[in-house]
Structure 1
Amino acid sequence: MSSPEPRPSLLTHVVPAAPPDPEAAPWVFGSALWHGAWTTPVMRPSAAPWFETWAEQGFTNQSLRQNVRLHAGGTQVRIRLSNAYGHTPLHLTGASIGHTAGAAAVQPNTMRTLRFAGSSSTTIPANGRAVSDPVTLPTEPLDDLTITLYFKGATGPATYHQLSMTTAYRAEGDHHREPAATAYTDTVQPAYGSWYYLEGVETTGPHPLPHAVVTFGDSITDGFGATIDGHDRYPDLLAERLLSAARPHPVLNAGIGSNKLLTDAPLGGDAGLARFTRDVLDQPRVGTVLVLIGINDIQQSDDPASGTANPTPPVTARQLIDGHRALIRAAHTRGVRIVGATLPPYRGAAGWTPAGEAIRGRVNQWISTSGAYDAVVDFARALDPDGTGRIREGLHIGDHLHPNPAGYRAMADAIDLAVLEQ
């Protein structure tokens, strides 16, 4: 009999100590019940090999303008900022929010000053976060908001989300209360974009919304291959389907490009096991999580820039399955429904190997047949309906790994909306 396969050491890190006290939950403020309207997982600053970012240099006497699309509306709004990977306090001089008028412009009559404990400025401790005071700003699902942050002093390297597929804009000096885009002449090209310090947007209103759906995973969830500023990642399209079906669950995207389930990745953030509680279970009023992760653990590549290089022995199917079981236990501890997605094919991609393909097959068989997940979504079949072992031509960006907008549409359409509801 063969010896047991080693277990990943992070398995114990994902399980929360106890279910949260609803009365002490951060999304309950006075009589207001806050809903997650948008989120992104934050990462430590690093140099991205694929495109330029502003993360390592940070900001000094600059205004930073960032756009987000909401998946929940309301009458009031607030934001969450993160200095999770900062080594020093972060001094924010001023901030504003308003409805996007296109690119870096803001609709003038909607611009609001953001305050923190009554002050127009705030200091966020190293490894800490800040939540703004509520401002009255009526919003609807699929509205685009523009958030502007002004940093007078040097921030140092910035906590950020590397791949936003959304253009960020920068201006020299203080322009955070100017609706016009005139000063915001600086962007990153090619504009794959990043989000900086911004962790979440929450809304509240007179009518409670259904619980949120969080999509958790790697670059396929993050949306690499989607249209820049086009909002056609699979979570975006899922949100549109839910709205059209009169099931207005907010959809919160917790994907990180190059992310692995079992281990940290230099360019892919903390391991999925390590970040699951923060990025999923601690979201406002989460009810369901849809999990698609593991292909970066399987891939073996000689290109360090891919984020999948792994000099250690290849991962085993047992290790990945144990990792998925840990996510399931953590979700159930919090009373959260958890839906597993099969890993799409990647034959033809740089990191494909026959051994990796065999692992993918065993993991997908377990996801599909074990009954461990509360429900299953078959993304592998959605992208490979003929069972060829490859993503169908016309559904990927040319690398045989990442879907294009048509592929993301196929994924969103493959989800039975009923499985997302408790």
Structure 2
Amino acid sequence: MARHVCTFAVAHTDISAQPFSNAGRTVRILIPNNLYGQALYAKFSNYFSKRPVWIEHASVALADEAGNLIPESICTLTVGGDTSFAIVPERDVFSDRIPFAAAPGQTIAVSLYYPSSEKPTSGNFVGTFAVRSTRGDYTTTPEMPKAKLLSNLSKTVLTWDMTNAVTTLSAVVLEQDEQTPAPRIVATFGDSIMQQGAWVTPFTQALYEKYPGEVAVCNLGIGGNRLLHDSPSSVKGIYGIAGAERFSYDVLPLQGLTHVIFGLGTNDLGLPGKDGTPMEELLIPSEYEAAVKELGQKLRERGVKVYGALMLPRELNAVYTSMRERIRRYLNQWMEDSGVFDAILDFESAVADPSGTGMKKEFFLPDGLHPNKQGGLAIAQSIDLSLFE
């Protein structure tokens, strides 16, 4: 019997607060692939929208190192046999199955052409997967002229250009034959410290190099996400639904899921008192512990291993006070002692400044919270890859 496994997935959220539009443009999502496959499905989402989203053309292909499509590999994606299709609000839909030969070390490119003037409202600013075109349908054109509008935010709190969001696409699923050994599918479930890819990207690269054809990593981080509360209304829904709730549709349905890296809590501590977040939403340790235990139990029941990523140290300020720092340290210790996790990933020790409360200064961005590329590499190198054998 054929097996279905995720080689790529992102967690969608409401991105309507962003000013850009995909009108008359092509979005190309470039996916580093580490799995074998004989056929492919794409999962499209319009979950965070009140209006239909229209895709006039969609394609999947292999891409070269420059992100250009390899002509002989280009295939049209259809939904219900249609090359043009609408996705209704608050729904997900799978494309039709297409034969597609995939192998480790290749890049899979999904290209979507948006004809209408609607802004994308369901997607994610995860990592560096997406590229937006200048105006035109480039779904079957190997080289796509790129529009890049670097956000000022990218210079201070981000490690990538947030004007290039992954929109509509939420997963790529490969079909494998039964002779192919079952791979490990790893979900990183957290906030912007995962979403941005500072550590997830080098971790994924190292894992793929060590285990070609045997493992895939799906980055399910959402910037600003909290475990216990939804995004504050002041920033619309961009910080996502509470992790305790989105877990059931972002994580559990992943085809072939075997491992989860859990990394939520930083914003439960840091957001109350800023961005319009009420102070009464400040994390209560007992509530956090109960929610983490429930998630861990659901994964254990499914035979999925769960690893706890300790919360990173951060600089104190008017909102993030010494009291909140004490709670962070307490919860990190609780994670180690709780028995919820199959292993602990000690990100704290990888970057902590022994002489202060935050990270070593060479490891963080100007906001004092997010690791830069050097800090992300230090975190990635602290992870024992044998945990994913």
Shorter chain as denominator, the TM-score bin is 0.7 to 0.9
Cα distance in 2 for partners of 1:154, 1:187 equals 19
Name the counterpart of 1:12: none
Name the counterpart of 1:251: 217
Q: Where does 1:163-174 land on structure 2 (aligned, <5 Å)?
A: 163-174=126-137
Shift in Å, 1:372: 2.1
Say how many residue pairs are matched.
371
Percent identical: 25
Write out per-residue CA displacement over residues 120-168 of structure 1, whole angstroms, 9 at most, x where no aligned residue.
Answer: 2223222111212233333333432322112334546431113443452
In the superposition, relative to structure 1, how do residues 163 and 254 fare at CA in structure 2: closer, same or farther (>3 Å)? closer
Q: Where does 1:285-296 land on structure 2 (aligned, <5 Å)?
A: 285-296=256-267
In the superposition, relative to structure 1, how do residues 162 and 236 fare at CA in structure 2: closer, same or farther (>3 Å)? closer
Structure 2 counterpart of 1:161, from 124, 128, 131 = 124
Superposed CA RMSD: 2.5
Structure 2 counterpart of 1:89, from 52, 61, 69 = 52
Shift in Å, 1:385: 6.7
Structure 1 counterpart of 2:194, from 216, 221, 240 = 221
Name the counterpart of 1:362: 330
Name the counterpart of 1:261: 227
Shift in Å, 1:238: 2.2
Of stretches 132-141 and 32-41 in structure 1, the one that deviates more from structure 2 is 132-141
Return the letter of the residue paired with 2:182. L
Shift in Å, 1:61: 4.0
Cα distance in 1 for partners of 2:38, 2:319 equals 47
Return the letter of the residue paired with 1:258. G
Name the counterpart of 1:407: 375
Name the counterpart of 1:384: 352
In the superposition, relative to structure 1, how do residues 151 and 167 fare at CA in structure 2: closer, same or farther (>3 Å)? closer
Name the counterpart of 1:63: 26
Return the letter of the residue paired with 2:100. L
The DSSP-based 3-state class of the residue aligned with 2:220 is strand
Return the letter of the residue paired with 2:209. S
- Structure 1 length-normalised TM: 0.80
Shift in Å, 1:300: 4.4
Q: Where does 1:11-50 land on structure 2 (aligned, <5 Å)?
A: 31-48=1-18
Return the letter of the residue paired with 1:213. V
Cα distance in 1 for partners of 2:281, 2:39 equals 51
Cα distance in 1 for partners of 2:35, 2:185 equals 9
Of stretches 237-246 and 274-283 in structure 1, the one that deviates more from structure 2 is 237-246
Cα distance in 1 for partners of 2:247, 2:354 equals 33
Q: Unpaired runs of 5+ in structure 2?
A: 152-160, 232-236
In the superposition, relative to structure 1, how do residues 392 and 163 fare at CA in structure 2: closer, same or farther (>3 Å)? same
Shift in Å, 1:198: 0.9
Of stretches 316-325 and 149-158 in structure 1, the one that deviates more from structure 2 is 149-158
Cα distance in 2 for partners of 1:254, 1:313 equals 23
In the superposition, relative to structure 1, how do residues 91 and 298 fare at CA in structure 2: closer, same or farther (>3 Å)? same
Return the letter of the residue paired with 1:111. I
Q: Unpaired runs of 5+ in structure 1?
A: 1-30, 227-232
Instruction: Return structure 1 stretches of 4+ with deviation > 6 angstroms.
Output: none
Name the counterpart of 1:298: 269
- Structure 2 length-normalised TM: 0.86
**Does the alignment pair 1:122 with 2:85?**
yes
Name the counterpart of 1:76: 39
The DSSP-based 3-state class of the residue aligned with 1:340 is strand
Cα distance in 2 for partners of 1:401, 1:333 equals 34
Asked if 2 retains the 8 angstrom alpha-carbon contact of 1:349 and 1:400, the reply is no
Asked if 2 retains the 8 angstrom alpha-carbon contact of 1:216 and 1:293, the reply is yes
Cα distance in 1 for partners of 2:355, 2:34 equals 34
Asked if 2 retains the 8 angstrom alpha-carbon contact of 1:164 and 1:195, the reply is no
Cα distance in 1 for partners of 2:54, 2:346 equals 45
Shift in Å, 1:94: 1.5
